[in-house]
Chain A
Amino acid sequence: MLELKNVSKTFNPGTINAKTALCGLDLTLNDGDFVTVIGGNGAGKSTMLNAIAGAFDIDGGSISIDGVDITRQSEHKRAAMIGRVFQDPMMGTAPTMTIEENLALAARRGRRRTLAWGIRKSERELYRARLAELGLGLEERMTSRAGLLSGGQRQALTLLMASLVKPKLLLLDEHTAALDPATAARVLELSDEIVSENHLTTLMVTHNMRDAIEHGNRLIMMNEGRIVLDISGEEKRRLTVDTLLAKFSRAAGEDLLTDRVLIGA
């Protein structure tokens, strides 16, 4: 369903700050795959997700979703197919707009925005129900501004916004990293629910080895702009943190101890 072929990206090419973030990356996702992505800082995980979302032009290679080449498509066009939650809780919502307005914006993802009223009465009922499912009491605060929410509440809202119009692909980039452990666990649980309810094809970046192992049906590990490990099926189910670390250091040829530190296992 998602296919990356030989994708490469160098930031600031031709300068002393040149940085090759993606280097001949190949990846194919099947329908309904829930893939967790791990790798040290600067491995290129975010860059890969941003390349898929269209935040910048890639230097080489191609990206397609369901057989449609989207390599040259603008970010807002692709958004029709892609739902995203970012690491920074500030990034996913419009702080000066109300919760229901944010949801109404998300409900129109991929549609032409007309001069019709921005939010209809019937929608409010739907939003109230969906917010109630989050279990955070947000359904009682639909007309408060999103900027007043805590980080965890915002991530939950962003998650709901990303899935309100069912995306073909869901991109989660360390979306629990800025949250306290309890909130992070709750948001992760919500992510699982939303993904399985809607059978979403998902890429989830995480620095937490255990989360990467416990969630999804497939795990990939990145290093220096490439995928160095790709584990799925029975092997993924049997995976433990220790075997994963051993595999990683073999694949990356790096020191186990620094990997442990980097990945926070």
Chain B
Amino acid sequence: MEFLQSMINSLPGVLGQGLIWGLMAMGVYITFRILDVADLTVDGTLGFGGAVCVLLTLNGVNVWLATLIAMLAGMLAGLVTGLFHTKCGIPAILAGILTQLALYSINLRVMGWGTTAGTQATLAISVDKYDLILSSRFVRDLGGNIWQNPIIVMLPITAVVVAILWWYFKTEHGSALRATGANLQMARAQGINTASATVVGLMISNGMVGLAGALLAQYQGSSSVDMGRGAIVIGLAAVIIGEVLLRGRGKVLTGLIGCTIGSIIYYFVIQIVLRLGLGTNDLKLFTALIVALFLAIPYWKGKAAAARKRSAVSKEEKNNARA
């Protein structure tokens, strides 16, 4: 009973966090599923978006504008990875790791902007002093600060983002991007510039992650150089959970909505295991194992199906031999 009560208490936080990470998961979905590229830039991009947004807001920029610029900053990170990959011939996964590593230094610099040391690992921003879009403090607030309640704010933002992304992937341009991910050879034969489609895909994806980073920093009241560590895995977890639940592989709209639902469920499960006594420090281990398991299941299923077929054939052969 007490457990149930505390679970219910944690629900608003789960929703708020899940909705923000849902945007991040959409970024992962775009590269991992639509473009068929494993992009590890995002771990750095999340912190980059957070750092840029907090720094700008602290320096008097309107918080919405700062959030928008954080998204553009994310797109810039995607552009760099895209150029590493398509113009320098670096394998996509390595290109992403390179940008991610570079972003670590850059994020320290961004957060240390104007300080004497020049670098800084965290940058706090208080919702008391700045008119942030949302804050975890108001996650239960349905009164005076309702318009800074993460759930209230994130629902329309998520809807708008999903609508824009869905529209884009239905346009000629977006269709070309989907074709690039679905069949590179065919895309080229149909006159699609697959290199530029890949770069654009990486930019959109990292733009989403930058946006999520900006919102997450406001939610937490700070950005930190570590905030994106393992983000790709959390994003993947959300993507996969969404797919399993909605059984939607291929349909873009289902995929995008699945990201948000998957992300909320992910945080819900995390709350459960935390309350069951798992330490916060063990969370990443837990997440990694869960994702590995879910990625392995389709593979095992395929193997089992093949084995069944084999044994059916050999049984038939035996029967034939006997006859």
Contact = CB atoms under 8 A, between A and B. Distances in A.
Interface of A: 53, 55, 74-77, 79-80, 82, 84, 86, 90-97, 101, 104-106, 108-111, 113-119, 145, 161-162
Contacts of B105: none
B230 interface: no
24 contacts: A74-B193, A75-B189, A77-B191, A79-B190, A79-B191, A79-B192, A84-B189, A92-B186, A94-B182, A97-B175, A101-B175, A104-B172, A105-B176, A105-B179, A105-B190, A108-B172, A108-B190, A113-B192, A114-B171, A115-B168, A115-B171, A117-B171, A118-B172, A145-B250
B170 interface: yes
A205 B218 CA distance: 62
B188 interface: yes
Interface of B: 168, 170-176, 178-179, 182-183, 185-194, 249-250
B39 to A, nearest CB: 19
A161 B190 contact: yes
A113 B172 contact: yes
A237 B194 CA distance: 43
B172 A94 contact: no
A118 B174 contact: yes
The 3 closest A-B pairs by CB, nearest first: A79-B191, A94-B182, A118-B175
B298 to A, nearest CB: 15
B173 A97 contact: no
B248 to A, nearest CB: 11
Main secondary structure of the interface of B (DSSP, over half): helix
Contact of B172 (A79, A80, A114): A114
Given A91-B183, A93-B183, A93-B186, A105 B192 contact: yes
B268 to A, nearest CB: 29
Contacts of A106: 190
Given A93-B183, A97-B175, A105-B192, 10 more contacts: A75-B188, A91-B185, A94-B182, A94-B186, A97-B182, A105-B179, A111-B191, A113-B192, A114-B173, A118-B174
Contact of A86 (B173, B182, B185, B249): B185
A91 B186 contact: yes
B172 A109 contact: no
B29 to A, nearest CB: 13
B179 to A, nearest CB: 5
A90 B176 CA distance: 18
Contacts of A77: 191
A76 B191 contact: yes
Given A76-B194, A79-B188, A80-B191, A94 B178 contact: yes
B182 A115 contact: no
Given A94-B178, A96-B250, A97-B179, A113 B173 contact: yes
A161 B190 CA distance: 8
B179 A118 contact: no
A115 B172 contact: yes
Contacts of B185: 86, 91
Contacts of B192: 76, 79, 105, 113
Nearest to B191: A79
Nearest to A53: B189
Contacts of B176: 105, 108, 113
A120 to B, nearest CB: 10
Contact of B178 (A76, A97, A119): A97
Contacts of B182: 94-97
A97 B187 CA distance: 12
Contacts of A79: 188-192
